[in-house]
Amino acid sequence: MTKRIVVALGGNAILTDDPSAAAQQQAIQQTAQQLINFLAAGDVQLVLTHGNGPQVGNLVLQQLQGSSVKNPAMPLDTVGAMTQGEIGLWLADALNYEISIRGLSQRVATVLTRTVVDEADPAFRQPTKPIGPFYTVDELPAIKQQYPDWQFVADAGRGFRRVVPSPKPVSIMEAAEIQALVQDGVTLIAGGGGGVPVIEKEGHVTGIEAVIDKDFTAAKLAELVDADELLILTAVRYVAKDFNQPSQTMIKRISVTEMQQLVDAGQFPAGSMKPKVEAAISFVRNTGRPAVITSLDNVRAYLADGDGTVIVPD
């Protein structure tokens, strides 16, 4: 029986210190070399989604720096669509190449995805989603002076990043098309960057300036396609309790209620591990199926014996 897994790829699967197209394509090719192990097993179907935080922030800067009356910068939702398209293209090309050299027969498709959000979502009043490059303490004053309306937060000890609203996904507009492709056995890339955030009002669909966290969209996508498991790939092998403290412990298997207690105790930082954990909790509670958080370079161990942080129903 084929096992259907929704995989959410973190930014480290796409972007290195070199933001050029060639470097990102190389990083994605290395990611595809890990992902192909799922398809080579022969009994796994993948539905992939990915982040776009670094890319969307960098592209916003390019847009603003080149903006003019005749060639104005595009709004954030449109820039999100652009990055969803570029990463979806690169990822599909990389997977097609790996499929070809392995002699496999899977088909790959990328669906530009619009994600419906609630205009009244409190996230619009409290931005939390980091996008774009990191800034040092010394660089921050100049960038604040250049863009006084932007908000910044310290990001996991790596510097400061701009934050934008990150509303929760309500539904996916391309749901029927995604379901049809998945039922047809396609290896699907959808909901990239969380999807393009839109609101529906009186029959009209309008983009809105925000970036949806891809992990929450991945959980929604996993429910939509009746996935057997949600797998969130990030930079670390395990979720940690008391991260970076002398009492730090790695979480390998935990019930959904126990994990929620850790969230409520403030164990995980917003904009970093917290949305991953909350998205995993949502999937487990809504489906009664497990969710796993681990690193991309741990995929072989995950496939061999389920290694990683596994969140299970009570």
Q: Which of 53, 132, 193, 276 is flagged as catalytic? A: 276
Q: How many structural domains is the chain composed of?
A: 1
pLDDT of residue 270: 76
Distance CA(135)–CA(142), nearest Å, equals: 10
The pLDDT of residue 271: 66
* Residue 286 annotated in active site: no
Handedness of CA 128, 255, 231, 11 (dihedral sign): positive
Per-residue pLDDT of the chain (314 residues; tens, 9 = 90+): 789 999 999 876 787 778 889 999 999 999 999 999 999 888 899 999 999 888 888 898 898 888 889 999 898 899 999 999 999 999 999 999 999 999 999 999 999 999 999 999 999 999 988 888 889 999 999 999 988 999 998 876 789 988 999 999 999 999 999 999 999 999 999 999 999 999 998 889 999 999 999 999 999 999 999 999 999 999 899 999 999 899 999 999 999 999 999 999 999 987 689 999 999 999 999 999 999 999 998 998 998 899 999 999 99
Query: Does a structural domain hold residue 276?
Result: yes
Catalytic residue among 10, 12, 192, 271: 12
276 in catalytic set: yes
Flag whether 247 is in a domain: no
12 in catalytic set: yes
* In a domain? residue 138: no
- Structure token digits, residue 243: 């991260």
Q: Which residue out of 11, 85, 207, 306 is catalytically annotated?
A: 11
Please indicate, yes or no, if residue 190 is contained in any of the structural domains.
Answer: no
85 is catalytic: no
104 in any annotated domain: no
Range(s) of the domain holding residue 270: 255-297+305-313
Q: Is residue 266 part of a domain?
A: yes
Categorise residue 244: left if φ over 0, alpha if ψ from -120 to 50, beta otherwise. left
Find, among 184, 227, 200, 183, the residue nearest to 49 by Cα: 227
Q: At residue 242, what are phi and psi to the nearest 5 degrees?
A: 55, 50
How confident is the model at residue 66, as a pLDDT? 87
Catalytic residue (choose from 10, 193, 194, 214)? 214
Predicted pLDDT at 279: 97
Whether 58 is catalytic is no
Domain presence at residue 289: yes
Residue 250 resides in a domain: no
